[in-house]
Amino acid sequence: MKVIGIEGSPREDGNTEKLVRAILAGAAQKGADTRFYKISKMNISPCRGCIGCRESGICVIQDEMTILYDEIQASDAIVLGSPIYMWQVTAQTKMLMDRLVVFVKPDFSSRLNGKKDLVLAFTQGNPDPQSFKFYFDYLEKLFSFMYYDVRGRVVAHGMRKKDDILDQKEVLERAREIGKSLVA
C-alpha cells in the first residue's frame, strides 16, 4: 500500500508538516510505503483555466505537478495538509487543488484509477477547534465530489508558534491512528 502526504504550508518543519508526517508515520507503522511532498518546495504553477485537460487528461503546464499527478495515481491514499490562512487553505494548497481538475472528465466522471482514500489535516491559530468547521465540511464535500473517499480529518487548533503541535499529544496520537486506519 502506498500513502502520500502533500503539505501546503510555506513554513519549514512547522505544525502542519509535523501533523502530516504523524499521519504518514502511523501508515508506515502498519507497513505502508509513504512519501512526503511539500508544495512550497516544488515548482508548481497555478491553473491557467484553459480547460484543455478536461478533454485530454493532460495538463498543458509542464512543471513538478506532473510528479504529483503520477504519485496520486499510484497511491492508495493521500494525506493533504494545510494551515488555515484567512479562513481557507493556503495559496499553495489551493493552487494544487485547482490543478486536480485534470482528474475530472467533461462528464464529471473521474480519471483516477480507483477511488483514493483521503485524509485532511489542518492547523489553525484560532483556539476554537470548531471555528472553521463549515469550511472543513465544504472541503470534504468537494473532494468527495472529485471521487476521493474522505476517511478523516485532523485539526490542530491554537497553533501560533512553529512547534506548538508538540504540546498537543492527543492530536498527534489521533493523527497516527488515522494513518494506521488507512492501512488496516
Model confidence pLDDT, tens digit, residues 150-166: 999 999 999 999 999 99
56-82 pLDDT, tens digit per residue, is 999 999 999 999 999 999 999 999 999
Q: Number of structural domains, the chain?
A: 1
pTM greater than the 0.75 cutoff: yes
Determine the pLDDT at residue 141. 97
pLDDT higher than 90, residue 115: no
Helix locations, the chain, DSSP H: 15-29, 52-56, 65-74, 91-99, 133-145, 169-183
The CATH number given to whatever domain includes residue 177 is 3.40.50.360
pLDDT higher than 90, residue 184: no
**Domain of 173?**
2-183
Percent of the chain exceeding pLDDT 70 equals 100
The cell numbers describing 89, all together, are 487553505
Residue with cell 499527478: 69
